Chain A
Amino acid sequence: MGKILEINGPLVKLELPETVLGEQVRVGRLGLVGEVIGRDGDTALAQLYEDTAGLRPGEVADGLGWPLSVELGPGLLGAIFDGVQRPLQAVWEQSGDRMARGVAVPSLPRDKRWHFVPDPHRRAGTPLAGGDVLGTVQETESILHRILTPPLIHGELMELAPEGDYTIEEILGRVRMSDGRIEKLHLFHRWPVRTPRPFKRRDHAVAPLITGQRILDTFYPLLKGGKAAIPGPFGAGKTMLQQQIARWCNAEIVIYVGCGERGNELTDVLEFMPELKDPHTGRPLMERTLLVANTSNMPVVAREASVYVGITLAEYFRDQGLDVVMVADSTSRWAEALREVAGRLGQMPVEEGYPAYLGSRLAAFYERAGRVETMAGHHGSVTLIGAVSPPGGDFSEPVTSHTKEIIQTFWALSKELADARHYPSVDWLESFSGYIGSAAKWWAENVDPNWESERAQALDLLAASEELQRIVNLVGVEALSSEQRWTLEAAGLIKEGLLQQSAIDEIDSFASPEKQFALLAAMLEIFRQGMKLVKLGAPARRLIQMPLLAQARRWKSQHTSEDIAALKAKIAAIPGEFDKMMLEYEQTA
């Protein structure tokens, strides 16, 4: 037992000898929880996850003997946790609308019974190692939860419970460890959040993550197991884009970490997710979703912990051989939490008040993404998408610039596009993807061999139009040649008919890879047919008046992803639209 010496914001100095750095402490009469971040002789410095108002010097403090850990087992999916994995729904039922301090509610429900089916390979007397699957629990209709052996177990299985209903605390089995100790097995285990979970080896990421968003999938793809960042000033549609990804992406598990963001946004997710169907399984989306919420008005130290809680949960599902997407909104708030604590510790600030270790912390965090071969030999992945909120929309600020060096896919959001209500406001010139090669292979095998060249042509067109627009802004559109005007028009067609995608339009909200490619090919076909005519001497002015151009802009919201045939028929009819004019100009030529 120790005692409080000093309280300074979320930092508390304790007289508490023999604590370990990172150890959890329980402090004061309210029993507030925190972790040790410094030791000096008999004193320990702890940061608390809750508001410290009302604590007094002299009150008791005690070390708990373990670092910040999460509970991993059935009952995670569909839940909403706070930054230190307290179940917010249960906390609400127990302590009311406001977050009372010192509430202790277990992360996973203790009274719920789960139907456990043991793995037939697990027999008494056989060897058992960390990561081995003990059996399964059908947690939701779409997700089969594999019960994993805790990573540090290594020995011989002594006994395992037969098929039946168990709570997570009932003993499921026993293992004799190699050193002779006997360990009990349960449906769940704990894992410290700041330690990456072990795996056998890293794998190459091969398949793209399909988000159904054309600007992402077609132009700047991300792979399953990859790392991406979405930087954007406020009002650029960052949240909307992330919610679209969480809704539509073809991962098996989606973990959404609201780190220092708006309370109403999480409510939005909580309310709309159960109503929506997973486009890939037809089941309610909430069944594959898990939320970690530390809203901007919740204590700042728990905000720093929340991203680690999220990524550890992600790794746990990865170890079951699943593809997991984790969206962290926003990593800037996490970095700011880091800065706030560093400031109180009196650490030397480097850039904009951030501590010198900002870059290495960010890098170590993003490194926890990846596609791996699990300890049990399955393949699983964690795809990490971090939102960045650069102050003033300035991408050269420390968090954005450090993140840019770490990630492979960069979806830069633009305020100008958002102001003109061009959504998603992903800037096609500033964004990049380091995964084009792998993605091209997948698109060629699964959708169309011409994906790479068509994509490149569309991007060329967009880049060219940017140049032309500059000329127009100086001297007016009349100064352009017909060829240039048609290029400009075609780029407009690509922007409005392909890149712009409405999240609130039922049909347009999600586009399958087939639909994405069909639309891309369609817009380029119109461009090429028109260009042929222009080269024959047709004035662009005439082409621009073709009703086809207005029609093609509506195709995206007229054809569902299942209705590709009708869309393809329209594309096949494109040359016909140009026939009459073609004949006219071929004769004069």
Chain B
Amino acid sequence: MKNIEFRTATSAQGGLLVMGGVPGVAAGSRVQLRDHAGRLRSGLVIRAADDAVLVEVFEGTDDLDLERTWVRFLDEPFKLPVSRDILGRIFNGAGLPRDGRPPIISADRRDVNGEPLNPAARAYPREFIQTGISAIDGMNSLTRGQKLPIFSGGGLPHNRVAAQIVRQAKLLGESASEFVVVFAAFGASHADARFFEESFEESGVLNKVVMFLNLADEPVIERLLTPRAALTAAEYLAFDLDYHVLVVMTDMTAYAEALREVAVLRGDVPARKGYPGYLYSDLAEIYERAGRIKNRRGSITMIPVLSMPSDDITHPIPDLTGYITEGQIVLGRELSNQGVYPPVTVLPSLSRLMKDGVGKNFTREDHPHVASQLFASYAKALEVRGLAAIIGAEELSDADRRYLEFANAFERKFIGQGEDEDRSVYETLNLAWDLLSMLPADALIRVSEEELAKYHKGGAA
């Protein structure tokens, strides 16, 4: 069947092609089209019946001449050839080379959809990854095998933050080069893609990076394949070759918009804001491919970047993402406008796996309490700042004024740091104590009395 070309297209509209009278076509099978000009396009069977087969064409159905369109059913799902040689290569969204070098030849070809991991086979992520960024390491730490997205907005430096994490990420006591990186960009601009490429080149990791690029002016439907191809490569590197893989994907919003575009064409019932009801399941299929497996050495740690439309965290894309990922790092416009880099808004940020990856035996025994105290004190300080905006800072009590100073110092010194500044987690914790010491000891109830005695500059309560 693979070698037969069918010329039975009966209708085409907005990327969907209906083929008549092709018996026994497998659902989910890959399709190759040849149009009147001899150009090849690829597609996927999304509905199969003997009298009509519905095909989604990745490059779109523009200027298809139904009478002069030849279709081959390849009788297998989309597969990515994998081998050690993928490191250092650049592919398009469908896994074909775009760096001018020859395609990967390998007998090992993997279905890009993957298969769900048996929950009983998962190993719980516990190893603290030091990113060198205080707002992350100190308060929202990253763990090997975690999926921790960056929620951002247009014009915010999410790419710089992601690149800094890629440069600096390491396990305590290991060198930064432990990781290999899988980078996927979909719907990204050429400038963004080049920024990452240059950043990888500068830090000399280019030969440890696999890139999958589907840029803003490239076929939309191919965007649905890009993260899947990238994660197939990541799974191979992690669970076949024992690498610790850091997957950076940008921008998930472009992915979800592509999904919506296709869903509308298919006539799927829309749920919120026109996104299909299965957006959650679809995103989960991508995000849940991060993790660790029992008895395997490698791991997949995932940092998806997504821009929140109109900075709205309740928009379906960040909302559903937040329900699947293990926390989120939220970047804020206000901090960014004040010149704070990285502009991590710590209060809505969260790392769900932090509780099991920091503290005694992992980082330092006071770490969980310090993080909790920083959150509480900064939340209180923001309340005071809100009050000061109404009644004026002069009217504040002495105690409140100390909170105001704390908030400013915290934002400048703790959250703010250089783009090349790589702070160890101990530097981060010591810095935290310097700041907490601006507040009276008896206001710090989230840390223990022993910790106060040991670290607070003013002594115990």
Contacts and interface: CB of A to CB of B under 8 A. Distances in A.
- Is B one of A's binding partners? yes
Interface of A: 5-9, 13, 51-58, 80, 88-89, 91-92, 96-100, 233-235, 239, 258, 260, 262-264, 266-268, 270-271, 293, 295-300, 333, 336, 339-340, 342-343, 349, 352-353, 389, 391-394, 415, 418-421, 472-478, 496, 504, 547, 550, 553-554
B25 interface: yes
A100 B390 contact: no
B117 interface: yes
A473 B272 contact: no
A442 B196 CA distance: 63
A48 to B, nearest CB: 11
Interface in B41-87: 46-50, 77
A297 B280 contact: no
B284 interface: yes
For the complex of A and B, the 7 pairs showing the least CB-CB separation, nearest first, are A392-B314, A53-B28, A296-B284, A6-B49, A234-B322, A297-B288, A343-B269
B445 A553 contact: yes
A298 B316 CA distance: 21
Interface string B424-442: 0000000000000000001
B326 A264 contact: yes
23 contacts: A7-B27, A13-B49, A53-B77, A54-B27, A97-B117, A97-B118, A235-B348, A258-B119, A263-B288, A268-B356, A270-B119, A270-B120, A295-B284, A298-B116, A336-B271, A392-B316, A419-B348, A420-B380, A421-B372, A473-B386, A476-B395, A550-B442, A553-B445
Contacts of B319: 233-234, 391-392
Nearest to A479: B391
B118 A271 contact: no
A260 B372 CA distance: 29
A399 B224 CA distance: 29
Given A57-B50, A504-B355, A235 B327 contact: yes
A525 to B, nearest CB: 19
B387 A92 contact: no
Interface string B100-126: 000000000000011111111111110
B281 A52 contact: no
Given A5-B50, A264-B145, A296-B284, A99 B117 contact: yes
Contacts of B49: 5-7, 13, 57
A264 B122 contact: yes
A293 B120 CA distance: 9
Interface of B: 23-29, 46-50, 77, 113-125, 145-146, 239, 268-272, 276-278, 280-281, 284-285, 287-289, 291, 293, 296, 314-316, 319-320, 322-324, 326-328, 347-348, 350, 352-353, 355-356, 368, 372, 375-376, 379-380, 386-387, 390-391, 395-397, 442-443, 445, 449, 461
A353 B274 CA distance: 10
A97 B114 CA distance: 12
A421 B356 CA distance: 17
A41 to B, nearest CB: 16
> Chain B's interface: helix, strand, loop or mixed, by majority?
mixed
A394 to B, nearest CB: 7
A235 B445 contact: no
Contacts of B372: 421
B417 to A, nearest CB: 22
B461 A340 contact: no
Nearest to A338: B277
A108 B119 CA distance: 18
Given A352-B271, A547-B442, A333 B322 contact: no
Contact of A57 (B24, B113, B285, B376): B24
Give the interface centre of A234, A340, A554 by most chain B CB atoms within 10 Å: A234
B115 A478 contact: no
Contact of A268 (B115, B124, B285, B324): B124
Nearest to A98: B115
Nearest to B359: A504
Give the interface centre of B113, B118, B269, B449 by most chain A CB atoms within 10 Å: B118
Contact of A234 (B284, B316, B323, B396): B323
B120 A475 contact: no
Contacts of A58: 23-24, 50
Contacts of A478: 395
B268 A343 contact: yes
A365 to B, nearest CB: 19
Given A264-B125, A550-B442, A554-B445, A98 B277 contact: no
Nearest to A54: B26
B26 A53 contact: yes
A419 B379 contact: yes
A299 B288 CA distance: 13
B254 to A, nearest CB: 21
A263 B26 contact: no
A20 to B, nearest CB: 24
Nearest to A341: B277
A7 B397 CA distance: 70
B324 A264 contact: no
Nearest to B281: A300
B277 A340 contact: yes
B77 A54 contact: yes
A349 B281 contact: no
Contacts of B324: 262, 296
A472 to B, nearest CB: 7
A97 B293 contact: yes
B115 A99 contact: yes
A349 to B, nearest CB: 5
Contact of B322 (A98, A235, A550): A235
